[in-house]
Amino acid sequence: MNIAVLCGGLSTEREISIKSGYNVCKALRSKGHNAVLVDPYYNSNDASVFEKAETDYDIDVERYKLDSLTGDIYSYEIKGRPYFKSNVLFILEQADIVFNGLHGRYGEDGMVQAVLDLHAIKYTGSGHVASALGMDKGLTKQIFKGKGVPTPESVWLQEGDDYDLEKIGMDFPLVVKATNGGSSVGVYIVNNEEEYKDAIYECYKIDDSVLIEEFINGREFSVGVVGDEVFPVVEIIPKDGWYDYTNKYEPGATEEVCPAELTTEQTLKMQTIAKEACDVLGCEVYARADIIMTENGDMYCLEVNTLPGMTETSLVPREAESLGISFADLCERIIELSFKKYEDKE
């Protein structure tokens, strides 16, 4: 089938999105699909991309990075230019389905999903509402608390709010997060007032709200949910520091143990929390919940990623591999479940 792999876009996670899209496109071609990479900023009026998938639209990721960029993409946002460049939506309409490999702002926050819905273009993953809720850590926290999903205590602040710790009832150590950041961009662990103020300043550079969260010391885990199936738990052990952007995407920077070394009871409890967290946000097709467990066994859901990464170091593919599911088969399963999503709504 004709599959447009949408990746790149305008966010702090652009590079990771292109890597995800490259991997997905390559895998789908290996399965016989006519797959092409499409960047929202792709500067082309050529609507015949599916007839040239193996030539003009080669998937050499380094070449693609260069060809997909024409000048400073960030100037488009500043100047209020359209997110989709000329003919992109028309190209997407020619596909049987769009594999959404965008990450971060505009791609993961429900905006692109809403545009595709309005154009009746089928796409993989969650819809615009679940995507928006999952991207906004403040809203996610409110839903978790209301639905009984265990999560660290936090305070959600808008730009201009008083962030004095005594007034908001928080104390060090803390985690300061840009509310709509992803891939650990805009996440800071702080232990004193100077670090705290610096983190607030940096977060407001990329967002207009921040989440101040209690720091939970413990082991880090992640659990993928694909369809109704909860994947094996993977433990994340950074070789240096914590699971930040570098440790997430630098090969060899993090040890991933899958299945995680947990008791059967702990595994089932963690998988249950992950499934509940994804369900209360309304996630569809596939998602990933990040969970931390303290020394005494208490578990807290940190967040849900409604559009998990699909790079060679990403967690959901790693969990699938432990079940004997190849990366290419995982991509096809996501597409099959996405078609089912639309069939169920008819």
CA atoms within 13 A on the CB side of 1: 13
Active site residue 290: yes
Considering the candidates 109, 136, 290, 319, report the single residue annotated as catalytic: 290
Q: Supply 305's token pair.
A: 């990623």
Considering the candidates 303, 318, 319, 338, report the single residue annotated as catalytic: 303
Considering the candidates 305, 318, 319, 338, report the single residue annotated as catalytic: 305
CA atoms within 13 A on the CB side of 305: 23
Active site residue 105: no
Q: Are 14 and 8 in contact (CB under 8 A)?
A: yes
Active site residue 336: no
Q: Supply 319's token pair.
A: 């969990």
Active site residue 72: no
Q: What angle do CA 218, 230, 12 make, to 5 degrees?
A: 65
What is the 8-class DSSP label of residue 120? T
Considering the candidates 8, 9, 13, 244, report the single residue annotated as catalytic: 13
- Other Cβ atoms less than 10 A from the Cβ of 146: the count is 9
Q: Cα(222)–Cα(274) distance, rounded to whole angstroms? A: 8
Q: Cα(114)–Cα(123) distance, rounded to whole angstroms? A: 11
Peptide bond into 173 cis (omega under 30): yes
CA atoms within 13 A on the CB side of 287: 28
Considering the candidates 21, 288, 318, 338, report the single residue annotated as catalytic: 288
Active site residue 162: no
Considering the candidates 309, 318, 319, 338, report the single residue annotated as catalytic: 309
Residues whose CB falls within 8 Å of the CB of residue 101, separated by 6 or more in sequence, listed in order: 5, 6, 7, 17, 20, 21, 24, 310
Using N-to-C axis directions, what is the helix angle for 327-345 and 14-30, rounded to 10°?
Answer: 90
Active site residue 9: no
What is the 8-class DSSP label of residue 123? B
Torsion of CA 60, 66, 69, 73, to 10 degrees: 110
Considering the candidates 41, 188, 249, 286, report the single residue annotated as catalytic: 249
Considering the candidates 183, 222, 247, 338, report the single residue annotated as catalytic: 183
Q: Supply 4's token pair.
A: 């447009």
Q: Cα(214)–Cα(153) distance, rounded to whole angstroms? A: 6
Active site residue 303: yes
Active site residue 305: yes
The catalytic residue positions are: 13, 183, 249, 288, 290, 303, 305, 309
